[in-house]
Chain A
């Protein structure tokens, strides 16, 4: 569906009944997946996605359609993730030990998938976010650079470096040893 983005943002801001639904339908699952790969934790990804929509609602007045809604929302997601990470609320972890069963049949889950998750968790944050935006989310280099707030050349070098690191990791690490997880610390009961 082709969205009229300004209308959508205006509708969201003014309380139009369909706007939140359209916005969530278009971007909710995508943002959730992006946050899931950033944080490596299902609960953190949900919290981050929620925070993105809250922040978007608060800042909808300032959205002027100079950039797309997608880049606007993804930029918010990145800021919220960095903020949470800097406050030590989130440590990126491998999805290896959270989303699939450790004891389940590896053939069913896909060893490669688990290795890739571990390799992603091992990437530095800047490389991971650049790689995710371009390779997983399908943004153009220009858009991804805008989201990250870096020059396009920097973005490209990060994507290339991340790709090489992932390939190296995957070719070396056949064991898929999980990275120790700490996850999201929000609301834990001891």
Chain B
């Protein structure tokens, strides 16, 4: 297509107006467009270009950015402003928290966070790595949040076909002790010991690596190749943050670009809250940059040097957990921290449930639909009964461990039931948020927008 001087003028004119403008074009330009294919295409291209650009507005800054900026303003305020300036900045920095920290300490930390941010953060990261390498025992509890906005939107829109596994956050727990590793997620447990791996109690000869999630977390806190080999990363000090009654040091470690060898090739960010007296991480969050926004992927809490029972690392015990549907009391005792008397009651309730379930399943007088509905009701009743013997804290653990096979759900549920399930899932997620909120109000604020 031939582009002459007139075309250049017309295209410049088109470039300077909005493609969606309702304002009439100059008659001369309009006439040229009728006869010039190149300029006509240019005009269509303008509309496409502006449409693509409008998508940029979806990019959201990291939720902590505001807090980070407020923290960096404090040293400036201290040197040049009145004390009232300090107070509002401090209020901003410690939203929802009591002003229990001395101004001097706060200023010192904020100053470090700005002027020596990198050096301090790198030092903290190295100290964290050294500290975690010297613990005798590691125990972590974590969530794979999976709070993707698109899933939440589907639930809100009433989509009944959403798999329970897509929306329910997975809780997982891991232990490392004496060279033994154990990772549990839902009702799956993986053991690693002396180069051997047992998957739900069954030896897996094809595998010789510690469990993936636990190993990733371990590598993250020991500071060794946090995002895989040869992936450069940056480190920032985010100042002090109060968590569990401790003024923890908060640092951020971020991959500079997707690791070509990584399973998931997105930009990743990890936040660590460090105990300033030991530099051991108390908490870790994993974020990923996807779909123009940062999404919270996982939250982990760590305990150290608390000996775990040896049976946790016994493959035979895991067989019982996996297959002992009528006798999963041992599993419950571990997972929900049941006392001895609670274990007795738990076992009786489950035993009764199994009996009733067997009777219902073999009841030929019932139609299939009635039988399925009765089984669902039995399950609900079981859950209520078991919850009834637990403390509030145990109930939280119990609610989040509850597991339903997606296939079973689809098979049993009517469309109405599925709709109810979708609502139930939403409630579950809200409950989880509320639970997180009891520990850390800041977390709820962060994940709130994903609802």
**Nearest CB on B from A13, distance (A):** 8
Q: B49, B60, B61, B81 — which one has the most chain A CB atoms within 10 A of its CB?
A: B61
> Which residue from A16, A28, A102, A190 sits with its C-beta under 8 Å from B258?
A102
- The answer to whether B85 and A101 have CB atoms under 8 Å apart is no
Judge whether A167 and B265 touch: CB under 8 Å.
no
Residues of A within 8 A of B448 (CB): none
Q: Is B234 an interface residue (CB 8 A)?
A: yes
Q: A76 at interface (Cβ–Cβ under 8 A)?
A: no
Question: When the two chains form their complex, are residues B85 and A24 in contact, meaning their CB atoms are under 8 A apart?
Answer: no
Determine the distance from Cα of A164 to Cα of B46 in the docked complex, in whole angstroms: 9
How many of chain B's residues touch chain A, expressed as a range?
35 or more
Given A101-B290, A189-B234: A163 and B122 interface contact (C-beta under 8 Å): no
List of B residues within 8 angstroms of A16 by Cβ? 88
Contact of A29 among B11, B61, B70, B234 (CB under 8 A): B61
With CB as the reference atom, state the residue of chain A lying closest to B48: A112
Residues of chain B with a CB closer than 8 A to A57's CB: 73, 76-77
Q: Which of A165-190 contact B (CB under 8 A)?
A: 166-167, 170-171, 181, 183-184, 186-190
Contact stretch, chosen from A2-10, A46-54, A63-71, A83-91: A46-54
Taking a contact as CB atoms under 8 Å apart, the answer to whether A166 and B49 are in contact is yes
Best-buried of B77, B82, B125, B236 by chain A (most CB within 10 Å): B236
A36 partner, pick from B59, B118, B256, beta carbons under 8 A:
B59
Q: Which residue of B lies closest to A99 (CB)?
A: B289
User: Given A50-B72, A112-B52, A98–B234 Cβ distance below 8 Å?
Assistant: no
Cross-interface CB contact of B49 among A28, A97, A104, A167, cutoff 8 Å: A167
Within 8 A of A (CB), among B122-154: 122, 125
- In the complex, are the beta carbons of B16 and A159 less than 8 A apart? yes
- The reply to whether B258 and A101 contact each other, CB–CB distance below 8 Å, is yes
In the complex, the answer to whether A20 meets B73 with C-beta atoms within 8 Å is yes
Chain A interface SS verdict (over half): helix
A37–B61 Cα gap in the complex (Å)?
A: 13
Asked if residues A32 and B61 are in contact (CB atoms below 8 Å), the reply is yes
Considering only CB atoms, which chain A residue lies closest to B118 in the complex? A187
Within 8 A of B (CB), among A115-144: 116, 135-136, 141
Counting CB contacts under 8 A, is A26 at the interface? no
Once the chains bind, are B76 and A58 in contact (CB under 8 Å)?
yes
- Does B68 sit within 8 A of A, measured CB to CB? yes
B121 CB within 8 Å of chain A: yes
| CB–CB B55/A113 < 8 A | yes
What is the CA–CA distance of A63 and B76 in the complex, to the nearest angstrom? 17
Given contacts A43-B254, A188-B234, contact A15 B84 (CB under 8 A): yes
Residue of B nearest to A32 (CB): B61
A33–B65 CB distance below 8 A: no
Chain B contacts for A157, CB-based, 8 A: 12
Q: Is the CB of B69 within 8 A of A33?
A: no
Contacts known (A53-B73, A103-B265); A187 close to B256, Cβ less than 8 A: no
- A164 with B11: in contact, given A136-B53, A184-B234, A189-B234 (CB under 8 Å)? yes
Does A160 sit within 8 A of B, measured CB to CB? yes
**Residues in A neighbouring B57, C-beta threshold 8 A:** 33
- CA–CA, A97 and B260, complex, Å: 10
* CB <8 Å contact, A186 and B56: no
A80 beta carbon closer than 8 Å to chain B:
no
> Which of B45, B49, B88 sits near A17, CB closer than 8 Å?
B88
Q: Is B156 an interface residue (CB 8 A)?
A: no
B303: CB under 8 A from chain A?
Answer: no
- Contacting B81 at CB < 8 Å: which of A15, A50, A159? A15
Complex Cα–Cα for A3 and B121 (A): 38
Residues of A contacting B55 in the complex (Cβ-Cβ under 8 angstroms) = 110, 113
B179 to chain A, nearest CB (A): 29
Q: Is the CB of A33 within 8 A of B56?
A: yes
Q: Tell me whether A183 and B292 are in contact (CB under 8 A).
A: no
* Known interface pairs A53-B73, A103-B265, A188-B232; A98-B61 also in contact (CB < 8 Å): no
A148: CB under 8 A from chain B? no
List the B residue with the shortest CB-CB distance to A19.
Answer: B88
Of chain A, the residue at the smallest CB distance from B264 is A101
> Which A-B residue pairs are the 10 nearest by beta carbons?
A15-B85, A187-B118, A163-B15, A32-B61, A160-B12, A160-B15, A17-B88, A101-B265, A187-B234, A167-B45
Residues in B lying within 8 Å of A, measured CB to CB: 11-12, 15-16, 42, 45-46, 48-50, 52-53, 55-57, 59-62, 65-66, 68-70, 72-73, 76-77, 81-82, 84-89, 91-92, 117-118, 121-122, 125, 232-236, 254, 256-258, 260, 264-267, 289-292
Given A20-B88, A28-B65, 8 more A-B residue pairs with CB atoms under 8 Å apart are: A16-B88, A20-B73, A36-B59, A46-B62, A57-B76, A57-B77, A113-B55, A186-B118
